[in-house]
């Protein structure tokens, strides 16, 4: 008899851990980690501003969440993190709608699979520009505002276990995520002087519809087999750790990357 398919634990209810705070979340439209983080933040009492490069998705997600949690707590704007003007507009919206910025979640990233000998400059550059440079642009925009107010703040970056571990066909993505980890450490040292904490999460395998579209079933089965729990993470399980890092329970943490993974050692 085959063992039962491992199931995720029950969804954790909110506890107002982020009550009254304003958060900008990039790549937050859809069913992935960004979308799960947006919903989790709202359940924890935050006001949110969604950014996403997909115009239709960000409009639909904003409307749906506003209908559920209140239009006064949800705003959204199309934002390509490779475009400085769009990044600036996203943070301007947060200040216009809510008067302040408390939290940034850098979730925008781009993957793909290609062996290095066949990888084009465009493939390499595009992944680095969205995943690493986009995190830099948004972090810079947030820090300028947080420094100016003198009220502190929190930034949480989405890295990956591939920033530490090797996987064939992922040289561009792994390099970008390793860069996000290094950026997190260095920026945290600078930001500490004005009361801003910067940390990162490093998920292994959080399954969502977009990942299924760009990954073969064979590779997904292989990656799932490396997880100690015998299953992938739900996006909201990663979002729970982002909530922790964004909230007061992580008050003495900065420059750290927290692995959200059950991969075998």
Task: Write down the residue that tokens 């040289």 correspond to.
Answer: 171
Q: What is the C-alpha end-to-end distance of the chain, expressed in Å? A: 28
Angstrom distances, CA of residue 15 to CA of 43, 69, 134, 209, 231: 8, 15, 31, 28, 27
Strands (E), 118-195: 153-158
CA 216 to chain centre: 23
Do 179 and 132 meet the contact criterion of CB atoms below 8 Å apart? yes
Angstrom distances, CA of residue 154 to CA of 122, 184, 192: 33, 12, 10
Can you tell me the distance from the alpha carbon of 153 to that of 191, in angstroms, rounded to the nearest whole number? 9
Q: Give catalytic residues, as residue numbers.
A: 173
Can you tell me the distance from the alpha carbon of 89 to that of 109, in angstroms, rounded to the nearest whole number? 19
Do 89 and 79 meet the contact criterion of CB atoms below 8 Å apart? yes
List CB contacts of 66: < 8 A, sequence separation 6 or more.
73, 74
Do 199 and 250 meet the contact criterion of CB atoms below 8 Å apart? yes
């Amino acid at each position: 008899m085959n063992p039962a398919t491992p199931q995720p634990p029950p969804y954790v209810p909110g506890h107002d851990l982020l009550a009254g705070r304003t958060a900008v979340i990039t790549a937050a439209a859809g069913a992935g980690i960004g979308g799960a983080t947006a919903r989790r933040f709202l359940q924890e009492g935050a006001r949110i501003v969604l950014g996403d490069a997909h115009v239709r998705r960000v409009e639909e997600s904003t409307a749906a969440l506003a209908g559920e949690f209140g239009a006064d707590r949800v705003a959204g704007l199309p934002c390509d993190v490779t475009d400085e003007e769009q990044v600036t507009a996203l943070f301007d919206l947060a200040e216009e709608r809510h008067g302040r910025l408390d939290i940034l979640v850098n979730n925008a990233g781009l993957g793909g699979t290609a062996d290095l000998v066949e990888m084009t400059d465009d493939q390499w550059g595009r992944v680095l520009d969205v995943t690493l440079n986009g995190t830099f642009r948004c972090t810079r925009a947030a820090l300028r505002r947080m420094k100016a107010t003198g009220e502190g703040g929190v930034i949480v970056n989405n890295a990956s276990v591939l920033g530490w571990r090797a996987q064939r066909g992922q040289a561009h993505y792994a390099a970008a995520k390793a860069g996000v980890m290094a950026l997190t450490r260095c920026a945290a040292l600078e930001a500490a002087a004005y009361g801003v904490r910067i940390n990162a999460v490093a998920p292994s395998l959080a399954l969502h519809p977009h990942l299924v579209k760009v990954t073969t079933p064979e590779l997904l089965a292989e990656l799932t087999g490396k997880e100690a729990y015998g299953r992938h993470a739900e996006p909201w399980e990663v979002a729970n750790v982002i909530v922790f890092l964004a909230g007061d329970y992580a008050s003495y943490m900065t420059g750290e990357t927290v692995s959200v993974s059950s991969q075998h050692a």
